[in-house]
Structure 1
Amino acid sequence: MSNVQVILNDHFYDFIDDWEQKFYFLVGGYGSSKSYHVAIKLMKKLFQEKRTALVVREVFGTLRDSCFSLLKEVAESMGVYNTLKFSTSPLHISFPNGSEIIFRGMDDPQKLKSIHNVSLIWLEECSEIKYEGFKELLGRLRHPTLKLHMILSTNPVSKSNWTFKHFFEDSKNKFFVLSDEELYQKKILIKNNTYYHHSTCDDNFFLPKSYTEQLEELEQHDPDLHRIARKGRFGINGKRVLPQFEIAPHEEVMEAIKGIRKPILKSGMDFGMVTSYNALLRLAVDHENKILYIYWEYYSRDKTDPEIAEDIKEFKDSRELIKADSAEAKPIKYYKQMGFNMRACKKFQGSRLAYTKKIKRFKKIICSESCGNTIDELKDLTYAVDKDGEIIEDQFNIDPHTFSAIWYALDDYEVSNLKGGNGIIAMKKPRGL
């Protein structure tokens, strides 16, 4: 392999021969040549050392026309094609020194169980793979003597994707590794045994100018895709549910609430199960100016009802009304028995859509910076889409427990037409101070 000549882009020179880290995370825009250089890196390593490498995508059926074809192309460009044996049934590449590349899809996890002594894994389009799948693959990465490596390549997606939360930041769980903005500026960074690499089409000297111009045109009619394809940056994918959502210092939020002439104070709770979260929010409505303030949150998981009751006992002491999910009759009954002033919200056919539209009618939704979980769920909340790319107005990219808590809290409030005599009590000072 020492006399093999292969053409590389300058930005990938260091990446190709660096094997000091366990993880290699490559993120970038369209046409940046990241997958091409991963294939070269893989080929070189397997010629140098006898290894078993695993190449993975979420759907097995996509591997033949992507990674397998790319590795064949790279083998030809390196002049080693005739030294390798390519099999299509099953997909497999054999090397003259005993190295091999096997291919698997995460849509058939049973086939992963037969894999042994894998010391090198490439996850192509890793953002499409589920986080549980990534952890399963980590368990398959083992060898008695060889150093272990995992290469992950992807186009950037939403910051709610596990790849961003694992390799950059998960604000909900107070986890921080690296700012993505720092990576965009420095292009290559090494942190926590991970080699980070960012690239765009500007890093590929072999692209025609017309391709770059085509990506630039996306900015006018599809800014989301332009951010992904041209800039190679994480962000919000899709249409935001609450574009009027703002974050403000807690003191400013409380001062604004105190200045409301007739504040309407509400509390709502969404019950979580074993793997989901309990969310309880305090809200203040400025009806005249159509502003919703979120100023207090309780957010937990893996807690029993008695534990939660202890956490939120201030609501019991104050007799503050909590509106909760009517589908959860047992916990509501329990909290009532424990002395909480809790009632079931009103649910009806189509209530998810009706409540979502109601919240969208606020001119502003201002959230205290102290409500970190609410911010994490609502700041970049986007609509789910159907198979035709059309938005589904009552489904979202995540399960936003804090959004449900807002629905329940405001089930008897109408943003556009609130009139007297409906039992709503105005309070002069918000609780929770």
Structure 2
Amino acid sequence: MTSQNQTQVKLTELIAPSFYNIHWDIVEHKHTHYKLSGGRGSTKSSFISLEIILGMMQDPQANAIAMRKVGRFLDESVFQQLIWAINALGASNDWKIRYSPLGLTYTPFGNKIIFRGADDPQKIKSVKLANGYFKYSWFEERAEFDGEEEERTILQSLMRGGSEYFVFYSWNPPKSMNNWVNQDALQTREDTLTHHSDYRTVPPEWLGEQFLIEAEALKETKPKAYEHEYLGIATGTGGQVFENVTVRAITAEELDRFDRIYHGLDFGFAADPAAYEKMHFDKARMRLFLFGEVYGPRLGNTKLAGKIRSLNPLNRLVTADSEDPRAIDALNELGLRVTGAKKGPGSVDFGMEFLSDEINEIIIDPRRCPNAAREFTNYELDRDKNGNFKGSYPDRDNHTIDAVRYALEDVMTARKAKIRNKKKYGFN
């Protein structure tokens, strides 16, 4: 440690045993690229944050950049994670924290950590440093990025003017083994170390009793989901996004019990169809039932309003695509109650992951919702020119899917807030 204000801390009290060898690999600079995948609670992000902070406190020329695909998620992830590492190392007196814009500065040397989102690549390309160079780069939640080409473009701007570099990648593997990030982990390069970890190699007291209870409960009830979420295993083999869909008739008895009804609307443009979906969300069992649909191209506002009214006789609030405020105003003038979805950066990815991962089962009645049944069962990721699945969701043949996302926007927002409140930075 370089400052008398820092508390002496044993790294074995902060780094899980599965990362001991990687720590020494970094000390000896045996590799440049460190690709660390794993399940929940594997502490890969904790390890990376500690290595970056330790390295910067030993090298006056070392600066770092931490990145997410969507910039608005930086504060609640890598920024807080690095602050955790500073505090865990007893070095808080030697670091200056800036919240707007996000930044961390090691005051004895003046070297910095900056934070950027790849949703605005120009901001990464235009980054300039007064002193030193970007010795450390961190791609957090790597699976969110669009592929190796995007990473290479970013690194070509960052890896200049220095003598040695460390590039860290951390991610929870997507379900599909064909996803580009899972395929990349199979590749070998002399300057790259690839590592996979899960919570079973972490001291139990670091994670807490409830974490272990939740893991064991999922293992018992949904072993495949347990393997994917907690062990970080790619349990799927193809590009199908929704592996939790059941297409079947919804019974009259089930319909009578539905009490949490939601309505969503995706407007049609030109030849694209408008899509309205009516659904029930079973929060206790995390099941979604689709049992009402309006779907078709060139539906005028009057005709669309009439069809929706027949499925929504109590005139419950409909959440619609906010990209067409004039259509929303027109439907409200016709007597419907329609509001625009809030959307925002990252809302598509979060919504798709909520529908595909958080919901245990999506039951679609094929007679009442034939187009939803078709779109949900056929929706797949695109492939890049090398045949690997891309990390982004294709914007086509997804009109009913978008309508469902809009309808459940408040449910997903509440779920996200709950996850955020429960999250303990340092062991993710």
Query: Normalization by structure 2: what TM-score?
Result: 0.52
Structure-2 change in CA distance of 1:118 and 1:197 (3 Å): same
Structure 1 portions without partners, runs of 5+:
169-175, 178-190, 244-348, 351-383, 403-433
Counting only pairs closer than 5 Å after superposition, residues 275-424 of structure 1 correspond to structure 2 as 388-389=355-356, 392-398=376-382
Structure-2 change in CA distance of 1:78 and 1:152 (3 Å): same
Q: 2:141 corresponds to which residue?
A: 125
Q: 1:137 corresponds to which residue?
A: 154
How far, CA to CA, are the matches of 1:91 and 1:15 in structure 2?
Answer: 28
Structure-2 change in CA distance of 1:397 and 1:47 (3 Å): same
Q: 1:194 corresponds to which residue?
A: 192
How far, CA to CA, are the matches of 1:242 and 1:72 in structure 2?
Answer: 36
Q: 2:8 corresponds to which residue?
A: 4
How far, CA to CA, are the matches of 1:104 and 1:192 in structure 2?
Answer: 28
Q: For residue 140 of structure 1, report the CA deviation from its aligned partner.
A: 2.1
User: Higher Cα Rg: structure 1 or 2?
Assistant: 1
Match of 1:109 among 121, 130, 134: 121
Q: For residue 163 of structure 1, report the CA deviation from its aligned partner.
A: 1.6
Structure-2 change in CA distance of 1:72 and 1:397 (3 Å): same
Q: Which residue identity lines up with residue 226 of structure 1 in the other structure?
A: Y
Match of 2:167 among 143, 147, 150: 150
How far, CA to CA, are the matches of 2:165 and 2:230 in structure 1?
Answer: 33
Q: Which residue identity lines up with residue 22 of structure 1 in the other structure?
A: T
How far, CA to CA, are the matches of 1:133 and 1:150 in structure 2?
Answer: 14
Q: 1:161 corresponds to which residue?
A: 179
Match of 1:68 among 76, 79, 82: 79
Q: Which runs of 4+ in 1 moved over 6 A?
A: none
Computed over aligned residues only, the root mean square deviation of the Cα atoms, in angstroms, reads 3.1
Structure-2 change in CA distance of 1:133 and 1:193 (3 Å): same
Q: 1:413 corresponds to which residue?
A: none
Q: 2:42 corresponds to which residue?
A: 32
SS in 1 for 2:207: coil
How far, CA to CA, are the matches of 1:108 and 1:155 in structure 2?
Answer: 23
How far, CA to CA, are the matches of 2:354 and 2:182 in structure 1?
Answer: 25
Question: 2:33·2:167 contact (CA, 8 Å) conserved in 1?
Answer: yes
How far, CA to CA, are the matches of 1:239 and 1:58 in structure 2?
Answer: 21
Structure-2 change in CA distance of 1:94 and 1:240 (3 Å): closer
Question: What whole-Å deviation, never above 9, does each CA across 1:95-129 have from its counterpart, x for those lacking one?
Answer: 12122100000111120121244232011111111
Aligned length: 244
Question: 1:16·1:40 contact (CA, 8 Å) conserved in 2?
Answer: no
Q: For residue 74 of structure 1, report the CA deviation from its aligned partner.
A: 1.5
Q: 1:233 corresponds to which residue?
A: 233
Question: 1:120·1:141 contact (CA, 8 Å) conserved in 2?
Answer: no
SS in 2 for 1:393: helix
Q: Which residue identity lines up with residue 193 of structure 2 in the other structure?
A: Y
SS in 1 for 2:50: helix
Q: Does 1:98 align with 2:93?
A: no
Counting only pairs closer than 5 Å after superposition, residues 193-232 of structure 1 correspond to structure 2 as 193-205=191-203, 206-232=206-232
How far, CA to CA, are the matches of 1:82 and 1:240 in structure 2?
Answer: 49
Q: For residue 141 of structure 1, report the CA deviation from its aligned partner.
A: 3.0
- The farther-off stretch of 224-233 and 82-91 is 224-233
Structure-2 change in CA distance of 1:20 and 1:395 (3 Å): same
Q: 2:92 corresponds to which residue?
A: 81
Structure 2 portions without partners, runs of 5+:
244-295, 298-350, 357-361, 363-374, 388-428
Q: 1:302 corresponds to which residue?
A: none
Question: 1:91·1:102 contact (CA, 8 Å) conserved in 2?
Answer: yes
Structure-2 change in CA distance of 1:400 and 1:133 (3 Å): closer
Structure-2 change in CA distance of 1:386 and 1:120 (3 Å): closer
Query: Normalization by structure 1: what TM-score?
Result: 0.51
How far, CA to CA, are the matches of 2:211 and 2:353 in structure 1?
Answer: 29
Structure-2 change in CA distance of 1:219 and 1:57 (3 Å): same
